[in-house]
Amino acid sequence: MNKLKSEKIKKKLRNSSVGIAGVGGLGSNAAIALARAGIGQLIIVDFDKVEEGNLDRQYYFLDQVGKAKVDALKDNIKRIDPAVNVLVLNLKLDKGSMEKPFKNVDVIIEALDNAETKTEFVEEIMLKLPNKPIVAASGVAGYGHCDRIATKRCGNLYLCCDENAPSSDDDVLLAPRVALMANWEANLAIEIILGEDIGN
Amino acid sequence: MKTLGIEVNSKKVEWVKNETVDQLLKRMGYVFPLVVVKINEKVIPKNDFSKVIVPDKSKIAVIHMISGG
């Protein structure tokens, strides 16, 4: 292992922040990956409570059912690394002020569920915070087809997408594919923060 | 008047004079209702899709989101 590179990455990540909109399947898994990678600060926003039906893909446990997702996720992150500064916002992102919690983060991760909210969020961030990198995901439902997933870049929007995937309104959401895309988003966020990995 | 002028998601497409964003989306066959549109790196708010005219030689990105998360 290259010690110099590893120290440099550690330091840079510790001084960086990521904001996550929604901590369901995408957001909870992305947050855990970023915490393990050593991110300094996470701002997590959601208004939902943990339900038993979430446990097939979201990073929560049976004994957390009924708890606010943001609080449960903070607890889980603290069990991995208490040094991560987790700021929780137990609220619904409202159209017109969706960008507010994310003004000061280095990268925003869109991890919402339905297409309408996803679109509204991406549009609002691109309009109001045009210089802020935003990572979004589209086409999470179903299983298999790993290699249909690709990153599309459009200005400051980095979209992890499978254009041929079904909508979750008509199809299943399962842990492997959801976590794959969540980690894809986290990996993109890290790449944006650190710059492209060009070796040692 | 038509020219071979604009690019939609990296595809070369004819430019049509006085065409709005709404009309372009329809012409492209983009039937999904939920889209983010950027013209030459500028985001066009959804409420303006029926007002904004697509300029010649512009580069347009149409992004649509599928439910799931």
Provide the CATH number for the domain around residue A30.
Answer: 3.40.50.720
Q: What CATH number labels B2-64? A: 3.10.20.30
Q: Is the pLDDT of residue B1 over 70?
A: no
Domain boundaries along the sequence of chain B: 2-64
**Nearest-CA neighbor of A164 among A186, A189, A139?**
A139
% of chain B beyond a pLDDT of 70? 94
In terms of Cβ atoms closer than 10 Å to its own Cβ (0-12, 13-18, 19+), residue A182 is buried
Q: Is the pLDDT of residue A200 over 80?
A: no
A40-63 tens-digit pLDDT: 999 999 999 999 999 999 999 999
Distance CA A136, CA A184 (A): 10
Q: With beta carbons less than 8 A apart as the criterion, state whether A88 and A71 touch.
A: yes
Distance CA A54, CA A62 (A): 10
Task: Tell me how many domains chain A contains.
Answer: 1
Out of A111, A118, A126, the one facing B65 most closely (by C-beta) is A118
Give chain B positions within 8 Å (CB) of A130.
43
B19-43 tens-digit pLDDT: 999 999 999 988 777 889 999 989 9
More confident residue, A1 or B36: B36
Out of A123, A152, A169, the one facing B67 most closely (by C-beta) is A169
* Residue A92 is assigned to a structural domain of this protein: yes
Tell me, what's the ipTM? Answer: 0.86
**Nearest-CA neighbor of A89 among A102, A78, A77?**
A102
Give chain B positions within 8 Å (CB) of A139.
66, 68
